[in-house]
Structure 1
Amino acid sequence: MSALTSTTTSTGTAVREPSGRLRVNLATVFTVLVALGIGYVGVSYLFAPEQTASGFGMPVWPRGEAADFLTVKGVRDVVSGLVPLALLLTGHRRALGWALLAESVTPFGDATTILLHHGSTATAFGVHAATAVFVVVTAALLLTERRAGNGRN
């Protein structure tokens, strides 16, 4: 069986697109990658905040007792991983798509903050902006899934 199906647009043009099952599987795998990835980052900030922060892309991070603030980032990132997993496990795929779209603001904001504070351009784009785009793509896959039974989005 082919993983691609052919759809005819309103202009009569045939378009090849991934089958519904493949889209659902990709959205699911991408969601798990997003959730586990940010969850791992969060746990890293909780257990090794100063070492983890050095890879974020900012030119300077707080040290000593001031680094305790990085725990806040760790908790935020763990929660950012738990929310998509909870929505995925309960089958709320449309809400999951909207939640991921909202969560994409975080890595876009991180990239912008790094650039505004003269941090690593490579990390801003290569890690944070790329992550944001991946999260948006995942959200788009979820939000454009066909609903069972009615054949509509």
Structure 2
Amino acid sequence: MKIKNEMANWGPRSASYWMTLLIAAGIIIIGVRFMLVPRTGAAGFGIPLSSNLDLAFGRIKGIRDIFSGLALLPLLFFRMKKATAYVFTAAIIVPATDCLLVYLNNGPIMSQLIHGITVVYMAITSYILLRDTKKTTA
């Protein structure tokens, strides 16, 4: 009954739970902003939209961000630490690629820093999640 044991040992009392929830909620909010005001979202991202024809791409990014956040919520709700750890760790590729794209497009240094800090934050959170996972399943 590893699942019951896992649920009993991880949840709202764990820092890694809240650290993961912060990223999930944050990316949902960013996605909603992209859906509602794509120009503002793109400017905040670090690569502004160049014409009205680009508005659809902003909304495409928005729905993908919303999905990324929503994908973590059931794992958190059901306290599936191991699955959360693996999905969250794999998701680091998104802000890392975003950081690189903003850099390659001569985006603002602040946007590059935000994406880079997100990578570091997610790497630390992943480390904690994976470390905690090894303790529970060992």
Q: TM-score, normalised by structure 1?
A: 0.76
Greater Rg over alpha carbons, structure: 1
The residue aligned with 2:35 is 46
The residue aligned with 2:22 is 33
1:34, 1:66 → 2: CA distance? 26
Aligned residues: 126
Structure with bigger RCO (C-alpha 8 Å, 6+ apart)? 2
**2:129 aligned to which of 127, 136, 142:** 142
**2:75 aligned to which of 87, 103, 117:** 87
Q: Is the 1:96–1:139 Cα contact (8 Å) retained in structure 2? A: no
Unaligned runs of 5+ in 1: 1-19
Higher helix share: 2
Deviation at 1:63, TM superposition (A): 2.3
| Paired AA for residue 95 in structure 2 | P
The residue aligned with 2:58 is 70
Q: TM-score, normalised by structure 2?
A: 0.84
Deviation at 1:37, TM superposition (A): 0.4
2:117, 2:26 → 1: CA distance? 13
Higher strand share: 1
Deviation at 1:141, TM superposition (A): 1.1
| Paired AA for residue 72 in structure 1 | I
Q: Percent identity?
A: 28
**1:108 aligned to which of 79, 93, 96:** 96
Unaligned runs of 5+ in 2: 1-8
The residue aligned with 2:44 is 55
Q: Secondary structure at the match of 1:99?
A: helix
2:81, 2:93 → 1: CA distance? 19
Deviations 1:81-123 (A, max 9, x none): 0111111112211111111111111000000011111111221
